[in-house]
Amino acid sequence: MSSWAERVHRRAADLGNVVTSCGHPATAPAYPYRLEKVKFGVPLEEVCKHNNNIPGPLLVLILKLNKESPNRRDVFRAPGHQGAMKKLIHFLQAGRLVNVDNYSVFTIASVLKKFLRKIPNGIFGRSGEMELFAINELQNEAEQTDRLHRLFASLPKYTQHLLVLLFGTFRVIASNAAHASTGMTSEALGVSVAPSFFQSCVSDGKTARMEDVLKFKVATKIMQHIIDKFATHDIFGRDNYEYYARVTGRILKVQDEWICSFQYPPPPRGKLAQQKYALQHSLEAEKTWLQCQCERWGLRP
């Protein structure tokens, strides 16, 4: 390890000891020199075994995409830098500190797609993929939504969290496609990410079969459908939408209900109650601003 790296680790350890020791100096663990490892090619259960949730480094990558991708062209479609991808994957698997500012959103998106593609049997599992293909054949939209909701609810909690973060990010990107002229509509995203989610539509051989091509088209349609219905239908469940809002800091409107988990007390349920709640907080914010301006200009008695 170089002298510079040693100094960085030593300072991080000193800072970690100060922060984590506050109030519990005897039992506080030292700052970890290594982060959680993000392993490629292993079951998601093993990746998320620490605290039964998404590893911190993987979460940071998703949040960077959620923040910066909506205004960038061709994210998830344009390939990332191959050298930077290999370096980032090495750091993730080794559990080393990663400065995400050193990597473009294209590189991070490509690494994320590779991580999903390497999950054995895919993030949905073989039975989950078959269920999604069956749901796509349904004509009744309400029945489609209900079965999608039940399918996602049957998955482990860490899988639900990962899916709601991914599809929420896709939805933000698609929503800004026309305004920001990024070209990444829900259809374009579906085409770009479907192979990473549906392993059953990827041929094992070097030559794609017609069956695989047809499956890929259906998988693209399924991805587009979930992206479009992300907030208009209760697909993932309120707990997962609140998790998404809490982690990303974004506000969602799901079936005429606003969801934002960074305010206290939380907003009430019901459209009329939420309108009254929003009006009340709006008036309070305006009152606070006026008071600040009065104090600034010396107008208060």
pLDDT at 19: 34
pLDDT at 284: 56
Q: Report pLDDT digits (tens) over 251-274.
A: 877 776 766 654 444 555 665 665
pLDDT at 105: 97
| Res 11 pLDDT > 50 | no
| Res 30 pLDDT > 90 | no
Which pTM does this prediction carry?
Answer: 0.75
pLDDT at 268: 59
Helices (H), ranges, 137-262: 141-153, 157-175, 177-180, 186-197, 210-228, 238-248
Q: From the CA atom positions of the chain, what is the Rg in Å?
A: 22
CA-CA distance, 201 to 186, in Å (whole number)?
Answer: 19
CA-CA distance, 211 to 269, in Å (whole number)?
Answer: 46
Q: Report pLDDT digits (tens) over 129-151.
A: 999 999 999 999 999 999 999 99
Angle at 238 between CA 232 and CA 242, to 5 degrees: 100
| Res 283 pLDDT > 80 | no
Cβ atoms of 252 and 230 closer than 8 Å: no
Task: Please confirm whether the linkage preceding 120 is cis (ω < 30° from 0).
Answer: no
φ, ψ of residue 69 to 5 degrees: the values are -70, -30
Q: Report pLDDT digits (tens) over 80-114.
A: 999 999 999 999 999 998 899 999 999 999 999 99
CA-CA distance, 163 to 235, in Å (whole number)?
Answer: 11
User: For residues 36 and 194, which has the higher predicted lDDT (pLDDT)?
Assistant: 194
